[in-house]
Structure 1
C-alpha cells in the first residue's frame, strides 16, 4: 500500500516530506510538527499521513490517466491539486 509505505519511509519515489520526521527506530513524529514551522506554514497543518495520502492519490491518478481511466473518489472526494499550498 502506497500510504503505508510512505508513512514508514517518509518518501514516495524520490520525493520525501518534511512532515515525516523520524525520531528513532522508524517511529514517526506525526503529532504537531507544523507548530514548529513559521506562522505562515502552521495554518496548513499537514502531517505525514496527509502528505502521503495526497501524493499517493496523485501518483495513482497519473497511472489511471495513462491507462485512459477516469478519476475515482478518495475519502469521499474527487482528486484535487494543491495550488500555492492550498488544497
Structure 2
C-alpha cells in the first residue's frame, strides 16, 4: 500500500531526480518545510505514510512503523518536534552551565577547568547534532547524531575517571 502510493506520488509530482517538484505537482509545501529542505520525494513519503496509517488504523487497528520509525506529525517542518525541542533544551542548559564555568573559574587558578571546557564543548556539539537529526533525518544527520552522542558518552566516562581521581 505504502510502496504503491509512493511510486504514484513521486511519478506524478516530482522531477526525475526526486528532489524538486514538477510543474504539474499538486503538493503544496509550507514555508518551514522549504526552509529545512524537504524534497519532493520526502513530501511523498510523508503523505503516503499518513495515508497508510489511516488505512491501517481503519482496517487493522494499529499504526505501522515506516523506515524503522513510528510516524510523527511534523510541526514547523520538524520531523520529530518533541525530540527536537528536548534536544534544544539540553543544548541550552549545557550552554548556560558552560557560561557559568567560564565566568567562575579560570585555567590559571584551577587547571582541570580546561578539561571541563572541552567536555562542555563536546556535549553542546552532541546536543546540536541531536537537534538537527530530530528536525531533519538524513543519513548524514543520523551519523553525526550517533557519532557525537558516542563522543559525549566517552567524555562522560573520562569525567568519571577525573572525578574519582
- Fold agreement, TM-score > 0.5: yes
Say if 2:68 is the partner of 1:65.
no
Provide the aligned C-alpha RMSD in A. Answer: 2.4
Residue 42 of structure 2: which of 46, 50, 64 is its match? 50
Report the structure, 1 or 2, having the larger strand content.
1
Counterpart CA distance in 1 for 2:63 and 2:44 is: 18
Which residue of structure 2 aligns with residue 84 of structure 1? 76
- Per-residue CA deviation, residues 10-49 of structure 1 (Å, 9 max, x unaligned), is 1xxxxxxxxx3x4xxxx35626xxxxxxx96654110011
Relative contact order: is structure 1 or structure 2 higher (C-alpha 8 Å, sep ≥ 6)?
1
Q: Which has the larger radius of gyration?
A: 2
- How many residue pairs align between the two structures? 66
Runs of 4+ residues deviating >6 angstroms:
none
Structure 1 stretches lacking a partner, 5+ long? 11-19, 32-38
Q: Tell me which of 27, 30, 33 is aligned to 2:19.
A: 30
Task: Provide TM-score, normalisation by structure 1.
Answer: 0.61
